[in-house]
A and B are shown apart, each in its own frame.
Chain A
Amino acid sequence: KNQVEQSPQSLIILEGKNCTLQCNYTVSPFSNLRWYKQDTGRGPVSLTIMTFSENTKSNGRYTATLDADTKQSSLHITASQLSDSASYICVVNTGFQKLVFGTGTRLLVSP
């Protein structure tokens, strides 16, 4: 069964600190993996898209990694800001727009 598991479920960090969110997937076939940020009450917004051949991709203070061998991805947030408080969703595309969604990690950045 195709599954995407994210950890931790929730996380509280102090403003200015770094954090790493994890995504493990058992999805086949694999086309790409995306990280989305979802602010409370809003729709998800794409942060990064990674294909099979990509190991690391950055978007400002967000850096995603992908290990296709172990089927793991991480999202590292550097120098967190209050506006980073949101849910972060890992989504794996099996191809032809068949998407498998993780349940997300809820991040709270505290002042």
Chain B
Amino acid sequence: EAQVTQNPRYLITVTGKKLTVTCSQNMNHEYMSWYRQDPGLGLRQIYYSMNVEVTDKGDVPEGYKVSRKEKRNFPLILESPSPNQTSLYFCASQAGVYSGANVLTFGAGSRLTVL
């Protein structure tokens, strides 16, 4: 089944404890992206990647890092989490970048709480 898989789905951590949220897709998609969703704010892009070893900042990149060493994986790294990073996180992927008709496939989400 074609899908985007995120782990963990739920995580409670403490301020300053480094964590990684993994994202993997099995559709051979070039484009991958991370979003956070907060009440009343909608989805906001954190980082995106056009292809392997090509990443760029989205609208809210502060406090996050990403890497794209393989096509299928795009982990989100919080080096020193803070309570304002408590949110629902979504990873998404898409085949190609320049075709406007392509559609994002989202993962099921990772709910992160930072105490």
A residues at B contact (CB < 8 Å): 31-32, 34, 41-46, 49, 51, 89, 93, 95-97, 99, 101-104
Find chain B residues with CB under 8 A from A32 CB: 100-101
Whether A97 pairs with B106 at a CB distance below 8 angstroms is no
Residue of A nearest to B9 (CB): A41
Contact for B108 among A34, A42, A99, A101, CB less than 8 A: A42
Contact for A49 among B42, B92, B98, B103, CB less than 8 A: B103
Find chain A residues with CB under 8 A from B48 CB: 97
Contact with A along B89-115 (1 / 0, CB 8 A): 010101001101101101111000000
Docked CA distance A97–B102 (Å): 10
Whether A43 pairs with B106 at a CB distance below 8 angstroms is yes
